[in-house]
Structure 1
Amino acid sequence: MLSRNTAAKQRWGGQDTSLDRWLEERQSILVQYCSLAGLPPYSENRGQLPSIEHIQHFCETLVDYVSAGHFELYDRILSQANEHDQHAKEVAEQVYPQIAETTEAALAFNDQFGEIDTDSSLTGFDRQLSIIGEAIEQRLELEDKLLQLLSARELLDEKPVP
């Protein structure tokens, strides 16, 4: 997942400030997920439940990330696709509902763990973390499809940041 985001940042980064900010949020959510899951380079945490504060911070970042996609980026992509290319429009309209499903998974995870206050509230955490990991992976694939449809220079109205 991290290598996918690195490739996306290399390909589309630097062309639009909101896209750059969103790619940074995407990177942050992936790093936090790996840390929570005890994945490399955080494997020393494997088998231990993360702190409540760590989980809450992940939930906040997750909600910010999915919100930024929906309210800042996807609408712009769909709008530009409508103007430029019928095929791109069709693909975007097919991908968007699938992304919405991953948003629902993120919000459900946040609802369950975003405001926990005791370790006893972590029942089922490992299973739910696995489910949200799969949703994040699917979301990355779908988002990359949207970004691949259109060159970021054609897609986004903003000029590159000097």
Structure 2
Amino acid sequence: MNSISTDTSATNLHLVAALQEERSAVWTLYCQIAEMKPFSSENAIRPMLSEFSQLLIDYISFGHFSIYEHLITEKQHQTSTLSYAEKMYPAFSNTTESAITFSDTYDDGKRKFNTENLAQDLSVLGERLAERMELEDRLCSMLLH
């Protein structure tokens, strides 16, 4: 194995490990927030939602701009991998939009938000995050092989 291949493998492993770390932080905080039901006090949950929204956007951005983009760049000569990644893109992008929508709704500390829809919004987001994790696992597998 030459040094270029070794460097690429190390970079890929680092990207996958970083994604898993971000994913774990997001999922842990998501579960902590979900356990706070019923959501009756905006003030008690607001700081957690703000932190969660920031972590969520960082995580989504990392998956979108680091993992997906790196895969496309690295595997540019492997038509089957590119074709599969391109087919995944709409679903991957959809999960990105769901996260951004959630963050836009619940991360503005100066704006009042209503916790009335939070349980439903968290449920939808949880489904999208689970879908995204499956897609990321496929992307990571392609990246590592």
TM (norm. structure 1) is 0.73
Query: What is the SS of the residue equivalent to 1:82?
Result: coil
1:31 and 2:25 correspond: no
Counterpart in 1 of 2:81?
88
Q: Which residue of 2 aligns with 1:142?
A: 135
Q: State how far apart, in whole Å, the 1-side matches of 2:111 and 2:63 are.
A: 31
- 2:15 matched to 1:18? yes
Q: Which residue does the alignment assign to 1:55?
A: 49
Identical aligned residues as a percent = 27
How many residues align structurally?
A: 134
Q: CA deviation at 1:51?
A: 1.3
Match of 1:158 in 2: none
RMSD over aligned Cα atoms: 2.4
The amino acid of 1:112's aligned partner reads T
Give the match for residue 70 of structure 1. Answer: 64
Ranges in structure 1 where 5+ consecutive residues have no aligned partner: 1-12, 39-44, 153-162
Report the 3-state secondary structure (helix = DSSP H, G, I; strand = E; otherwise coil) of the residue aligned with 1:31: helix
Considering fraction of residues, name the structure with more helix: 2
Runs of 4+ displaced beyond 4 Å:
116-120
Gaps of 5+ in 2: 1-9
Work out the CA distance in 1 between the residues paired with 2:17 and 2:133.
15
Deviation, structure 1 residue 73: 1.6
* CA–CA separation in structure 2 for the residues paired with 1:117 and 1:131: 24
Give the secondary structure class of the aligned counterpart of 2:75. helix
Compute the TM-score of the two structures, normalised by the length of structure 2: 0.80
Judge conservation of contact 2:105–2:113 (CA < 8 Å) in 1: no
Q: Contact (CA 8 Å) 1:82, 1:89: kept in 2 or not?
A: yes
Q: Which residue of 1 aligns with 2:107?
A: 114
Hey, what does 1:42 align to over in structure 2?
A: none
CA deviation after TM superposition for structure 1 residue 24, in Å: 0.5
Residue 133 of structure 1, aligned match among 115, 118, 126: 126
Per-residue deviation, 1:148: 2.1
